[in-house]
Amino acid sequence: MLPAPSSSEAVIAAAANVRADYTVDQGWEGYSAEDHAIWRELFDRQAKLLPGRVVPEFLEGLEFLSVAADGIPDFNRLNELLGKATGWRIVAVPGLVPDEVFFEHLANRRFPATNWIRSRAQLDYLEEPDLFHDVFGHVPLLANPVFADYMQAYGKGGLRASGKGALQYLARLYWYSVEFGLIQTPEGLRIYGAGIVSSKSESIFALESSSPNRILFDLERVMSTRYRIDDFQESYFVIKSFKHLFDSTAQDFAPIYQRLDARADYDPGVLLESDDVLSRGDGSYHR
């Protein structure tokens, strides 16, 4: 899930049985037959689409965790396996949580996952992340040791950034990596971002459309680039490997924040002379 705008705090605090860290019980027994059927439909759709499009580590994670088409997973069962692999666990939350809470969870290897699933009317479009996005999209890669370390480091970076006015820069890093990242593999370009992996249409668009730019990941470039929350991305940033992502971000961000504060942001679709462009988009979709 994404860091939340702090305006959602009141909504969440009003929900029943929410603990101080915004977690709730998943309430797995409470899912209806329709909830499980929606999971199955979404799962089947992506399971057909993703082989050959998603990074192999994602499919390995799905298999290792036995995340499958049979229905919404019980977080307790996932946590036994995930804990053995990387020490991460999933905690249920009723929706978006405040930034500080989100960072605190990640810094302690806890991934906050929404405990409600979308309705049939929302199969293709959601304004807020639901359980399918959070669990199918995010959790499989938490079984990968390098990606798992990256997510924890991101949370720690978030805690350090608090109060420095830098959250927009961190949000862009999360957006262009964890949510909408692409990765190079020996077999070609693959998706790994949860926002793409959990979306039928963007799984195809991100890799196959001639419209978006695909640019080699550069930390400062990513942190200076605004993003679209309401549509497909105009630019995707490509990492060489999860180690490349981890190593590129294993540094003190404070001097970067200072430099970014002193100059203008980039629009989502812009290309710079300094970019290492893997494919130059023709912009046809957003035009």
Q: Which residues pair with 190 in a beta bridge?
A: 183
Closer residue to Fe ion in complex, CB, 111/253: 111
Strands 277-279 and 213-216: antiparallel
Residue 142 sits in the site that holds Fe ion (CB under 5 A): no
Binding mask 102-131 for Fe ion (x = CB under 5 A): ---------------------------x--
Kindly indicate which of the ranges 57-65, 144-152, 156-164, 191-199 contains the residues binding Fe ion, using the contact rule CB under 5 A: 191-199
Q: Which residues pair with 89 in a beta bridge?
A: 110
User: How far does CA 283 lie from the centroid of its chain?
Assistant: 24
List Cα–Cα distances, 102 to 73, 78, 88, 209, in angstroms. 22, 20, 14, 33
Residue 173 sits in the site that holds Fe ion (CB under 5 A): no
User: How far does CA 79 lie from the centroid of its chain?
Assistant: 19
Residue 1 sits in the site that holds Fe ion (CB under 5 A): yes
The amino acid at residue 145 is P
Closer residue to Fe ion in complex, CB, 102/257: 102
Closer residue to Fe ion in complex, CB, 26/257: 26
The angle formed by the CA atoms of residues 138, 59 and 111, to the nearest 5 degrees, is 20
Residue tagged 């899930």 (tokens)? 1
Q: In this chain, which of 82, 194, 215, 223 binds Fe ion, going by CB under 5 A?
A: 194
Closer residue to Fe ion in complex, CB, 112/281: 112
Closer residue to Fe ion in complex, CB, 166/194: 194
Residues that bind Fe ion (CB under 5 A): 1, 129, 194
